[in-house]
Amino acid sequence: MAYLFTSESVSEGHPDKIADQISDALIDNFLAFDPESKVACETLVTTGQVVLAGEVKSKIYLDVQQIARDVIKKIGYTKGEYMFDANSCGVLSAIHEQSQDINQGVDRQSKEDQGAGDQGMMFGYATNETEDYMPLALNLSHKLLQELAALRRESKEITYLRPDAKSQVTLEYDNDNKPVRIDAIVISTQHDEFADEPTMLAKIEKDIKEILIPRVIKNNPQYAHLFNDKINYHINPTGKFVIGGPHGDAGLTGRKIIVDTYGGKGAHGGGAFSGKDPSKVDRSAAYATRHIAKNLVAAGVADEILVQVSYAIGVAKPMGIYIHTYGTNNVNLTDGEIAKKVEQLFDMRPYFIEQRLKLRNPIYSETAAYGHMGRKPQTVTKKFTAPNGEQKELEVELFTWEKLDYVDKVKEAFSL
């Protein structure tokens, strides 16, 4: 029977995403100058105020206030009328030394024996319904907001946009679990004050339908067939949206974990990613399970795969690996037998995850908006400056967990 499925996304100017981006900028700066840094950093943003809290073990001292302001400025909160401005907001730091009780469970005399930074379970997911092996509804939700942000920065076609925005896409699937069309699109975007509300609502709706949507279709032609004249649009459905960002709603690190992962498809272990160095398996093992799932689907083991791994704090070897193929298995093995082969192919001890995916590099700021999964692997050069004037220029690989570098090994292991 045909059914509907919905996913949402939020923009880089959404309060929770501001918090995520500040936390991950701190991670990057600590790792740039001390790759062995241990960091767990939370951020709160509200009207005119940023609060930083967490635990750090590092050899480098950073100007965390300036790092936060730089992130806020880059996002676009640069006007006093937003009631949250990079140059004038208060930044309070309550960051302190990491607990030795926690650290002793992670650090070991031999790095290979490094323990997990916490207990818990992590999930990775992949599906072949899109080219990047991601759920389609989430992909479209992200792309709507990425294009909206690009329009905001260009300031040519739509000049009234402010940084805060949300999107939501509902897809219709057929009896074979294939997406056939977009049923509904929700866009809520913050905007400047208009002279009168009816004109404002009509203008925003017209611009979204006639400028944003065609731009999304043009830049993503593989999805053009899903758009149709029967889509139910809900554009700024509450009406006026001038008050937004941290002035309209407080933001916290780690409150958009479904936006960060698979949009409600698959599963989520519950742990957030942003603000955590890779010794925290909430982050590193979630990336590693995505890497496994994507390579398995790309190799043809199944059309859709969920991978779970679980840990005990301070213990290197995971409690176990679980595989679920949703009945799309293409090999003559049970899901349990597939899991056994995965265990042999991928070393899931924390140190080996860090090494395999090159996670002790400053690669996290780019993950903190528009999803941690399904992004394009690339090599970039990044520059960092410490308060003492020391500068670092590093060439790093972004989104290494999205690489299809294990496909051949998987095919060999499964005789594909």
- Residues marked as binding? 14, 16, 42, 55, 98, 164-166, 240-241, 249, 255-256, 272, 276, 280
Residue type, 320: G
Q: Examine the residue annotation and report whether 59 is marked as an active-site residue of this protein.
A: no
Q: Examine the residue annotation and report whether 55 is marked as an active-site residue of this protein.
A: yes
Q: Examine the residue annotation and report whether 256 is marked as an active-site residue of this protein.
A: yes
Q: Do 253 and 272 touch, CB atoms closer than 8 A?
A: yes
Q: Examine the residue annotation and report whether 280 is marked as an active-site residue of this protein.
A: yes
Query: Which residues on adjacent β-strands are paired with residue 183?
Result: none
Annotated binding site for L-methionine: 55, 98, 249, 280
Pick the catalytic residue from 5, 33, 241, 384.
241
Annotated binding site for ATP: 14, 164-166, 240-241, 249, 255-256, 272, 276
3-state secondary structure of 85: coil
Pick the catalytic residue from 20, 24, 28, 42.
42
Which whole-number Å values give the CA distances from 197 to 17, 193, 204, 233, in the listed order? 28, 9, 11, 19
Pick the catalytic residue from 12, 16, 24, 304.
16
Within 10 angstroms of residue 302's Cβ, the number of other Cβ atoms is 24
Tokens 């690669």 belong to: 363
Pick the catalytic residue from 255, 290, 324, 356.
255
Pick the catalytic residue from 69, 162, 265, 280.
280
DSSP secondary structure code for residue 134 in this structure: S
Q: Examine the residue annotation and report whether 42 is marked as an active-site residue of this protein.
A: yes
What's the rounded Cα separation, in Å, for the pair 332 and 314? 37
Annotated binding site for K(+): 42
Pick the catalytic residue from 5, 12, 17, 183.
17
Pick the catalytic residue from 53, 184, 250, 298.
250
Q: Examine the residue annotation and report whether 196 is marked as an active-site residue of this protein.
A: no
Q: Examine the residue annotation and report whether 241 is marked as an active-site residue of this protein.
A: yes
Pick the catalytic residue from 55, 113, 303, 347.
55
Q: Examine the residue annotation and report whether 395 is marked as an active-site residue of this protein.
A: no
Q: State CA 216 to chain mean position distance.
A: 20
Q: Examine the residue annotation and report whether 283 is marked as an active-site residue of this protein.
A: no
Q: Examine the residue annotation and report whether 255 is marked as an active-site residue of this protein.
A: yes
Q: Examine the residue annotation and report whether 16 is marked as an active-site residue of this protein.
A: yes
DSSP secondary structure code for residue 211 in this structure: I
Pick the catalytic residue from 247, 268, 276, 283.
276
Q: Examine the residue annotation and report whether 203 is marked as an active-site residue of this protein.
A: no
Q: Do 257 and 270 touch, CB atoms closer than 8 A?
A: yes
Pick the catalytic residue from 38, 256, 291, 360.
256
Q: Examine the residue annotation and report whether 408 is marked as an active-site residue of this protein.
A: no
Annotated binding site for Mg(2+): 16
E-only strand ranges, 116-246: 120-127, 161-173, 179-191, 232-235
Catalytic positions, written as ranges: 14, 16-17, 42, 55, 166, 241, 249-250, 255-256, 276, 280, 282
